[in-house]
């Protein structure tokens, strides 16, 4: 495929958004104290994540001395210690101890940049550029709806694909009949709906009702119901499902984290109303679905291209791409333009 005309030339606008980098569980598993450090990569930037004095922090994963990775070091009290010569860094990213010359002043450049870091939904989030402070951690309804008895924060999974492709894959109505026949969809429903799409508060919002008669052919674990999407830009999707079978809610939430232009780390939350159901059941069903998607999506090039041929039935993807381009262009024109592009509501549904 000719990808010489990329949809977006400059990806730096993505630095203004919050992205997930690891789960709290991963941080807890990282060592017996549960404080890290662990390494992650976000938009090609290597990060070290650690809990220092109770606070989760994120910094560039590079010691200023000889560029060893701090994520290979350890936590000493409230500092991260470099594994190579023992320099110790505090929560701000400044080096606070150089054991080789304990009586000399610490050079000003002996620091590593720190990034804004938050814990939400038992997931650690990082924003690389907080200079405009216009973005929020994406919406997840699992913590909002008291009907949910069980909320599962799944182990993240990595794909050789971009976050844009993963987002489009999750919201693509046309692929169900081909990639998920018998799991999510009956192949007889191969002509997808074209739905109204709203932009509200930095989210794409839309609604879809798959055919009810698929209940007869799909396995009982298949979350067939009315699907309400709230997709916080750029890579998050909160899919609230009202199950046809029981009338109860079921949540599939996913946010793709852009490791690089062709690599993504994907976070998933499943919430449901059956307190007795072992977590393995919905998780295993999702694993089957993901194993159907992954080999297809990994054949696509990471970058989105203006050469791709779009149909009216690709409306969700078409609108998504339009918005990505607007955001990228606006970001190069400054804070006000970016705020306007992200937060101007456009409502089609009424």
Q: Which residues of the chain form contacts with ligand FES (CB under 6 A)? A: 63, 65-66, 68, 82, 84-87
Residue 186 makes contact with Fe ion by CB under 5 A: no
The two most distant CA atoms of the chain are separated, in Å, by 77
Q: Which residue is nearest to Fe ion (CB)?
A: 293
* Inter-residue contact 39 to 26 (CB < 8 Å): no
Rounded to whole angstroms, how far apart are CA atoms 235 and 209?
23
Minimum gap (Å) between residue 83 Cβ and ligand FES:
7
What are the tokens at 188? 């007889």
3-state secondary structure of 35: coil
314 binds Fe ion (CB under 5 A): no
Q: Identify whether the C-beta of residue 31 lies closer than 8 Å to the C-beta of residue 68.
A: no
Q: Which class for 318: exposed (0-12), middle (13-18), buried (19 or more C-beta within 10 A)?
A: middle
Give whichever of 48 and 270 is closer to ligand FES, judged by the CB atom.
Answer: 48
Residue 14 or 111 with smaller CB distance to ligand FES? 111
Residue 231 interaction partner, one of Fe ion, ligand FES, none, beta carbon < 5-8 Å per kind: none
Q: How far is the CB of 126 from ligand FES (least distance, A)?
A: 22
* Interface segment toward Fe ion; rule CB under 5 A; list 105-113, 117-125, 290-298, 331-339: 290-298
Closer residue to Fe ion (CB): 45 or 172: 172
Stretch of 7-15, 153-161, 259-267, 293-301 contacting Fe ion, by CB under 5 A = 293-301
User: Can residue 168 be called a binding residue for Fe ion (CB under 5 A)?
Assistant: no
Beta carbon of residue 17, minimum distance to Fe ion (angstroms, whole number): 24
198 is a site residue for Fe ion (CB under 5 A): no
Q: Does 61 bind Fe ion (CB under 5 A)?
A: no
Q: To 10 degrees, the CA torsion angle through 174, 175, 176, 181?
A: 130
SS3 197: coil
> With helix as H, strand as E and coil as C, how does 170-194 read?
HCCCCCHHHHCECCCECCCCCCCCC
* DSSP states along 282-308: HHHHHHHHHHHHHHHHTTS-SS-BTTS
Q: Which does 85 bind (CB under 5 to 8 A by kind): ligand FES, Fe ion, none?
A: ligand FES
Report the partner that residue 293 touches, choosing among Fe ion, ligand FES, none (CB closer than 5 to 8 A by kind).
Answer: Fe ion
Q: How far is the CB of 73 from ligand FES (least distance, A)?
A: 8
If the CB atoms of residues 46 and 86 are measured against ligand FES, the closer one turns out to be 86
Closest by Cα among 125, 107, 106 to 116: 125
Nearest distance from C-beta of residue 94 to ligand FES, angstroms: 14
Q: Which residues bind Fe ion (CB under 5 A)?
A: 293
């Amino acid at each position: 495929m000719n990808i010489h005309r990329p949809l977006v030339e400059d990806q730096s606008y993505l630095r203004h958004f919050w992205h997930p980098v690891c789960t709290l569980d991963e941080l807890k598993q990282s060592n017996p104290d549960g404080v890290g450090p662990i390494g992650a990569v976000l938009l090609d930037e290597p990060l070290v994540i650690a809990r220092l004095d109770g606070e989760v922090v994120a910094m560039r994963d590079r010691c200023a001395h000889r560029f060893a990775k701090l994520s290979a070091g350890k936590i000493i009290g409230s500092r991260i210690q470099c594994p190579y010569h023992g320099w110790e860094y505090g929560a701000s990213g400044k080096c606070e101890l150089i054991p080789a010359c304990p009586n000399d002043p610490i050079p000003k450049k002996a620091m590593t940049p720190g990034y804004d870091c938050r814990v939400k939904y038992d997931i650690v989030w990082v924003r690389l550029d907080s200079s405009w402070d216009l973005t929020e951690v994406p919406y997840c309804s699992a913590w909002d709806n008291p009907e949910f008895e069980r909320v599962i924060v799944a182990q993240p999974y990595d794909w050789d694909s971009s976050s844009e492709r993963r987002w489009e894959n999750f919201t693509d109505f046309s692929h169900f009949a081909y990639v998920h026949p018998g799991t999510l969809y009956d192949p007889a429903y191969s002509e997808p709906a074209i739905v109204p799409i709203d932009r509200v508060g930095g989210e794409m919002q839309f609604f879809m009702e798959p055919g009810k008669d698929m209940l007869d052919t799909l396995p009982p674990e298949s979350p067939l119901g009315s699907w309400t999407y709230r997709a916080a830009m750029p890579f998050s999707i909160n899919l609230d499902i009202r199950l046809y079978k029981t009338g109860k809610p079921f949540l599939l939430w996913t946010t793709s984290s852009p490791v690089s232009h062709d690599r993504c780390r994907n976070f998933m939350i499943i919430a449901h109303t059956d307190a007795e159901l072992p977590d393995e059941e919905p998780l295993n069903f999702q694993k089957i679905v993901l194993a159907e998607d992954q080999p297809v999506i990994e054949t696509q090039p990471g970058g989105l291209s203006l050469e791709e041929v779009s149909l009216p039935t690709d409306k969700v993807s078409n609108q998504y791409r339009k918005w990505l381009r607007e955001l990228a262009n606006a970001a190069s024109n400054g804070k006000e333009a970016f705020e306007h592009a992200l937060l101007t509501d456009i409502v089609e549904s009424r």
